[in-house]
């Protein structure tokens, strides 16, 4: 299997994962907040969107200026896993006025739709340039163990179920085959004047997702969705990690 030279050593990655995992369990969560899940991706060298957490309007404006417009805002709460369901996501905010209004709108939406939720702040995130969306998911089967899934995002996964699966761990050859065998592969090769997608970066992302699970067996589910794939490189826009059952994170 291809191994990547990571900027963070394996022992340090494991330590960081256990600290994040233990914090979530101590707070009564079996899932990681988006900044926590993206931190796991980051320490494995996967490119994620720039983000920070604003707990008031002053921090909001400071972070927005540092990250750069347009901005995406997402509610941060230990009681809300699916943020869009409660009106907790706004995208494409182009200036200070829109960001301030968006911040207040998200807080009001959450107080209205889930009044018992604890609000830890709002995630301020860069708006990645649009491109082809793909998804990488991991689930844990009680008989076969962890399986990894790859597919194009949007209607390709929701309507056509155009995805491929392998049991973890996967090899580079597995990753290459997973990408080539979906029906939407033609879009990744370049279609109607669009440049080809960076398939090598997708292969590396699949291998890295497999390695995250190999090194952190407590994870029962992981979704990197969407991942935007460009002519050169990829960027993970959203990440979700669920910790299995009542299993505790242990060293």
The helix or strand, by DSSP H or E, that contains position 217, with its residue range, turns out to be: none
Which residues pair with residue 164 across a beta bridge? 150
Arithmetic mean of pLDDT, 32-41: 96
Terminal Cα-to-Cα distance of the chain (whole angstroms): 25
Percent of the chain with pLDDT over 70: 92
The helix or strand, by DSSP H or E, that contains position 138, with its residue range, turns out to be: strand 132-141
pLDDT over threshold 90, residue 251: no
Nearest-angstrom CA–CA distance, 212 and 41: 8
Q: Rg of the Cα trace of the chain?
A: 18
- Tell me the per-residue pLDDT of 184-226, one tens digit each, with 9 for 90 and over: 899 899 877 788 999 999 999 999 999 999 999 999 999 999 9
Arithmetic mean of pLDDT, 5-28: 86
The pLDDT mean for the chain works out to 91
Q: Is 96 helix (H, G, I), strand (E, B) or coil?
A: helix
**Nearest residue to 175 via CA among 145, 210, 140:** 210
**Nearest residue to 139 via CA among 131, 154, 149:** 149
CB-count exposure of residue 228 (10 Å: 0-12, 13-18, 19+): buried
Q: How far from chain centre, in Å, is Cα 221?
A: 12
pTM: 0.90
Nearest-angstrom CA–CA distance, 59 and 96: 12
């Amino acid at each position: 299997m291809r191994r990547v030279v990571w900027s963070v050593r394996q022992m340090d990655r494991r330590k960081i994962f256990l600290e994040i995992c233990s914090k979530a369990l101590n707070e009564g969560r079996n899932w990681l907040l988006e900044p926590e899940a993206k931190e796991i991706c980051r320490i494995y060298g996967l490119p994620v969107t720039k983000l920070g957490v604003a707990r008031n309007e002053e921090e909001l404006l400071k972070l927005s200026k540092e990250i750069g417009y347009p901005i995406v805002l997402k509610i941060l709460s230990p009681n809300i896993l699916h943020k869009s369901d409660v009106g907790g996501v706004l995208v494409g905010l182009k200036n200070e006025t829109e960001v301030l209004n968006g911040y207040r709108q998200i807080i009001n939406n959450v107080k209205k739709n889930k009044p018992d939720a604890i609000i830890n702040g709002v995630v301020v995130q860069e708006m990645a340039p649009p491109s082809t969306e793909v998804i990488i998911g991991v689930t844990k089967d009680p008989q076969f163990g962890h399986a990894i899934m790859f597919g194009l995002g949007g209607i390709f996964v929701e309507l056509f179920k155009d995805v491929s699966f392998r049991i973890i761990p996967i090899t580079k050859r597995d990753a290459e085959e997973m990408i080539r065998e979906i029906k939407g592969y033609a879009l990744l090769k370049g279609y109607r004047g669009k440049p080809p997608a960076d398939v090598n970066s997708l292969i590396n992302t699949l291998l890295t997702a497999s390695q995250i699970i190999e090194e952190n067996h407590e994870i029962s589910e992981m979704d990197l969705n969407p991942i935007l794939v460009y002519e050169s490189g990829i960027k993970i826009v959203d990440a979700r990690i669920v910790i299995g059952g009542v299993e505790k994170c242990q060293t």
